[in-house]
């Protein structure tokens, strides 16, 4: 049952019976705020013209009619013009029976819509770092949430595998690598290539300093440094399809892809389709030609193509260089068209940092002006940067927090803290390794995903592994605790599978209410592209259950029906924790 729709129907029926035909917009119902008693609140002010009474009198009249005509409404209270409605214990018992009997609870029916989510989009000149982790975790989680809302989801990755930054690593490897490979050095491929990107920057700065010391201005020295000129020449050769350059490029990119795949597997993220910029960067030229024909774009004297968006409050935007080469916007226009047509998409979500807000604003507007109505179905999931207590990260200077190193550190910290707290007592080495990996990764993922994507966040590894408070390990421990209770019940031969009649305590009713909110939370998270809503919900559910478990025994309860009901309740809480955390890409252990 959709409880919101049920309440709306019941209240609308009572209001119609009391005052005659009512406009649906006049029935305003919301969840009762926590500080007040009740489940749902009716705002009576829009109904006063119909009732011709004061807000308080109108609310009282409707409340009395609801209690007398519906066995599901147990009580009401009036605060000024607001009618707070309480639903009966029996109502919530029925909802719990529905929850327990529903397979794939929280999974919506198929919508028939296909949504692409593009995330990760790494450069092949360096390993993934903490910023990429936020991108990957957001993209994967949003994909899971959209799938839970009944959409067919295509997880896509556009790899930035061409450009001057790639050539910088290639030049440095040629100059200083002495034929080093991942196999010969024992260094993971993406790390090895990243080391040469840092090496390039070191020599580039040294050459600039040397040129400046010889009397050249710093600005001129930056353009004239021999190592940079060598990288630029390599890029020209790449675009001219020089065989030697292309072979080197393919070899070094191959090292990087192997390294990326290891990191993706560790993080638990994957893709249905992988696109490469080297194969898509020329796309969009036909769209530019189309725009010129329609006089939507214009050509400047140097041959470059632009669009004037000043009337839309923006500026002039370059779409094609004077020499006919593409810019990012050219490519993105082409790939958007290609993906919508090839995959018959109903929408595409780009998971890209907030420094690209303007780019996506322009992309949608240009496509709209070209007459592509599906431009309205492009969504930019913009997210803030991840910072550390010591400040921002810089790839060129090698001061980034490497993703692999961070995961390794998280797992090590999880082991250290778990051992201190006795969480690994009685575990085999294999089981301890698995649990620590789960806790370390769960802590990392939850700490990042619980924050609203739009906010810049400060990441503190040790704080994220706290077993108390709003953390992944706290939620994982709650699940493990419930599993322990259920295992003991099984060992004692207690069968709690059948429906039982038992009295519910107020705390048990509260747990059912939160469980009943799960499908709506999943729907709301899908609407808002916000994994943080799932995180907040799961944390509140765990907090509520832990308070209940602290105050009330389950296995030592003397009344057999009550004991079975509590086991059923605990089992459903564990199930929702599992499914909610799975939407965040987080595993939960059964023991810890």
Give buried/exposed letters for 136-163 (b at 16+ CB in 10 A, else e). bbbbbbbbbbbbbbebbbbbbbbbbbbb
Strands 347-353 and 316-320: unpaired
Note the pLDDT of residue 429: 86
CB 489 within 8 A of CB 496: yes
Residue 388 has pLDDT above 80, yes or no: no
Please, what is the end-to-end C-alpha distance for the chain in angstroms? 36
Percent share of the chain, pLDDT over 70:
98
The stretch 577-590 carries a mean pLDDT of: 97
Q: How far apart are CA 204 and CA 197, in angstroms?
A: 11
Q: What is the DSSP string of 354-381?
A: GGGHHHHHHHHHHHHHTT-GGGGGEEEE
Backbone phi and psi for residue 395, each to the nearest 5 degrees, phi listed first: -65, -45
Q: Which of 170, 363, 159, 186 is nearest to 271 (CA)?
A: 159
Residues in the chain: 592
At 511 the three-state DSSP class reads helix
Residue 276 belongs to what H/E stretch? strand 273-276
On the question of pLDDT at 396 being above 80, the answer is: no
Query: What is the Cα–Cα distance from 401 to 391, expressed in whole angstroms?
Result: 11
What is the reported pLDDT for 401?
Answer: 80
Contact 26, 33 (CB under 8 A): no
Which of the given ranges, 201-215, 312-326, 397-411, 464-478, has the highest pLDDT on average?
201-215
Nearest of 432, 436, 128, 437 to residue 261 by alpha carbon? 128
The DSSP secondary structure of 519-583, one letter per residue, reads HHHHHHHHHHT-HHHHHHHHHHHHHHHHHHHHHS-STT-SSHHHHHHHHHHHHHHHHHHHHHHHH
| pLDDT, average across residues 487-511 | 94
Q: 428 CB contacts (<8 Å, ≥6 apart)?
A: none
Could you tell me which residues come within 8 angstroms of residue 138 by beta carbon, excluding any fewer than 6 positions away? 119, 351, 381, 383, 448, 449, 453, 531
pLDDT band at 418 (very low <50, low <70, confident <90, very high): confident
Q: What is the pLDDT of residue 393?
A: 44
Residue 390: band (very low, low, confident or very high) from pLDDT cuts 50, 70, 90: low
Query: How would you class 202 by CB atoms within 10 Å of its CB: exposed for 0-12, middle for 13-18, buried for 19 or more?
Result: middle
Whole-number average pLDDT of the chain = 93
The reported pLDDT for the residue numbered 398 is: 47
Residue 467 has pLDDT above 90, yes or no: no
Digit-coded pLDDT (tens) for 127-177: 998 889 999 999 999 999 999 999 999 999 999 998 899 999 999 999 999
| Residues 115, 155: Cα–Cα separation, whole Å | 9
Which residues are within 8 A (CB) of 343 and not within 5 positions of it... i.e. 6 or more apart?
A: 114, 116, 154
Say how far residue 215 (Cα) sits from the centre of its chain. 52
Cβ–Cβ < 8 Å for 512, 95: yes
- pLDDT given for residue 165 in this prediction: 92
Distance from C-alpha of 424 to C-alpha of 488, rounded to nearest angstrom: 19
Residue percentage of the chain with pLDDT more than 90: 83
Q: What is the pLDDT of residue 489?
A: 97
What does the pLDDT average to over 9-28?
A: 94
Whether 22 shows a pLDDT value over 70: the answer reads yes
Centre a 10 Å sphere on the Cβ of residue 411 and count the other Cβ atoms it contains. 21
What is the DSSP secondary structure assignment for residue 499, as one 8-state letter? -
pLDDT at 1: 82
pLDDT band of residue 391 (cuts 50, 70, 90) is low
DSSP 35: T
Q: What is the pLDDT of residue 282?
A: 84
For residue 397, the model assigns a pLDDT of 47
Find the range with the poorest average confidence among 87-96, 283-292, 391-400, 403-412.
391-400
pLDDT band at 402 (very low <50, low <70, confident <90, very high): confident
What is the pLDDT, as a whole number, of residue 217? Answer: 95
* CA 542 – CA 577 distance, rounded (Å): 8
* Angle value at C-alpha 276, between 272 and 282, nearest 5 degrees: 130
As a whole number of angstroms, the distance between CA 557 and CA 494 comes to 12
pLDDT of residue 518: 98
Give me the half-sphere count of Cα atoms (radius 13 Å) on the Cβ side of residue 239.
13
Mean pLDDT confidence for 397-416: 82
């Amino acid at each position: 049952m959709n409880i919101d729709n049920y309440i709306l129907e019941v209240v609308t029926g009572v209001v119609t019976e009391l005052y005659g035909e009512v406009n649906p917009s006049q029935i305003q119902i919301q969840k009762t705020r926590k500080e007040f008693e009740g489940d749902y609140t009716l705002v009576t002010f829009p109904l006063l013209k119909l009732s011709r009474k004061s807000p308080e009198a109108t609310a009282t009249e409707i409340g009395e009619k609801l209690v007398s005509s519906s066995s599901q409404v147990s009580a009401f209270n009036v605060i000024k013009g607001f009618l707070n409605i309480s639903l009966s214990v029996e109502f919530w018992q029925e909802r719990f029976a529905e929850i327990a009997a529903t397979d794939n609870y929280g999974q919506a029916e198929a919508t028939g819509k296909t949504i692409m989510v593009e995330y990760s989009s790494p450069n092949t000149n360096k390993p993934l770092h903490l910023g990429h982790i936020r991108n990957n975790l957001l993209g994967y989680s949003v994909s899971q949430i959209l799938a839970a809302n009944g959409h067919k989801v295509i997880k896509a990755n556009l790899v930035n595998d061409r450009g001057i930054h790639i050539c910088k690593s290639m030049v440095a490897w040629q100059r200083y690598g002495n034929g080093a490979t991942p196999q010969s050095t024992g260094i993971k491929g993406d790390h090895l290539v990243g080391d040469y990107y840092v090496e390039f920057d070191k020599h580039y700065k040294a050459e600039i300093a040397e040129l400046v010391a010889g009397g050249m201005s710093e600005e001129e020295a930056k353009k004239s440094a021999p190592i940079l000129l060598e990288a630029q020449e390599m890029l020209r050769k790449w675009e001219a399809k020089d065989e030697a350059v292309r072979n080197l490029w393919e070899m070094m990119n191959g090292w990087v892809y192997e390294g990326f795949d290891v990191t993706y597997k560790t993080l638990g993220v994957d893709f249905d389709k992988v696109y490469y910029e080297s194969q898509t960067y020329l796309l969009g030229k036909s769209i530019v030609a189309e725009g010129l024909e329609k006089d939507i774009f214009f050509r400047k004297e140097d041959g470059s193509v632009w669009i004037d968006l000043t009337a839309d409050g923006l500026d002039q935007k370059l779409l094609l260089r004077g020499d006919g080469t593409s810019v990012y916007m050219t490519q993105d226009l082409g790939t958007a068209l290609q993906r919508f047509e090839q995959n018959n998409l109903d929408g595409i979500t780009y998971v890209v940092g907030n420094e690209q807000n303007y780019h996506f604003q322009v992309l949608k507007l240009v496509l709209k002006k070209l007459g592509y109505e599906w431009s309205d179905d492009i969504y930019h999931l913009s997210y803030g940067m991840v910072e550390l207590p010591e400040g921002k990260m810089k790839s060129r200077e090698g001061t980034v927090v490497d993703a692999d190193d961070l995961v390794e550190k998280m797992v090590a910290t999880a082991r250290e803290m778990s051992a201190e707290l006795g969480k690994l007592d009685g575990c085999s080495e294999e089981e301890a390794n698995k649990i620590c990996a789960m806790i370390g990764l769960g802590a990392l993922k939850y700490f990042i995903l619980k924050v609203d994507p739009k906010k810049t966040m400060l990441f503190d590894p040790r704080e994220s592994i706290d077993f108390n408070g709003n953390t992944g390990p706290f939620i994982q421990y709650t699940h493990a605790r419930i599993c322990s209770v259920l295992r003991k019940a099984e060992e004692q031969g207690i069968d709690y599978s059948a429906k039982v009649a038992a009295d519910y305590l107020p705390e048990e009713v509260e747990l059912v209410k939160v469980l009943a909110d799960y499908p709506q939370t999943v729907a709301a998270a899908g609407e808002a592209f916000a994994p943080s809503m799932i995180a907040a919900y799961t944390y509140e559910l765990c907090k509520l259950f832990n308070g209940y478990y602290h105050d009330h025994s389950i296995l030592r309860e003397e009344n057999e029906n009550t004991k079975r009901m509590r086991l059923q309740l605990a089992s459903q809480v564990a199930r929702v924790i599992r499914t909610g955390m799975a939407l965040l890409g987080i595993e939960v252990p059964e023991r810890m």
